[in-house]
Structure 1
Amino acid sequence: MEIEIISFGQIAELINNQKIDTTGITDTETFKQHIENQFPALKSMKYKLALNKNIVQENTEIPNQATIAIMPPFSGG
């Protein structure tokens, strides 16, 4: 399965936008564990995931060729 990762803010300094081939990653919780193992600094950061432009609130199945954005906390105004 291929997943495109897009990162923003200080997370972009850790993770460059990239495509990864991830066998065995089928949901957002597994993805989060995988990415935190690859980039341990993420474990101490707050961030949200967006799957195909939709912010993920709970564990969600990841389709093939998905795009996942990793975003730091933000506020609007």
Structure 2
Amino acid sequence: MTITLKYFGLLADITNTNEELFRLEKSDFTTNDLMQQLNEKYTGLQNVSFVIAVNKSITSTEINLNNNDTIALLPPFAGG
């Protein structure tokens, strides 16, 4: 299974990329599983708060990921 990861703001700086394809070995992969792998790959993410959007919908719960999903990691927004 392959998903697309998109990073914004400080998260793009930490990962040194705006977007990457991420291959998952198992089909029953969740957002929590993804975060565990990303925290191992990019240790700087552990110290930053952000939200996860799956296919343009922000989620605050653990959900199952599907082939070709697009996952965006979004830093906190400031308004004015």
TM over 0.5: yes
Supply the distance in 1 between the matched residues of 2:44 and 2:14 (Cα, whole angstroms).
8
* Residue matched to 2:10: 10
Stretches (4+) displaced over 4 A: none
Supply the distance in 1 between the matched residues of 2:61 and 2:49 (Cα, whole angstroms).
15
Structure-1-length-normalised TM-score: 0.91
Gap regions ≥5 residues in structure 2: none
Identity %: 27
SS of residue matched to 2:53: strand
Supply the distance in 2 between the matched residues of 1:12 and 1:59 (Cα, whole angstroms).
23
Bigger drift between 24-33 and 63-72 goes to: 24-33
Supply the distance in 2 between the matched residues of 1:52 and 1:70 (Cα, whole angstroms).
11
Q: 1:51: how far off?
A: 0.4
- RMSD of Structure 2 on Structure 1 (CA): 1.3
Gap regions ≥5 residues in structure 1: none
SS of residue matched to 1:68: strand
Supply the distance in 2 between the matched residues of 1:76 and 1:53 (Cα, whole angstroms).
20
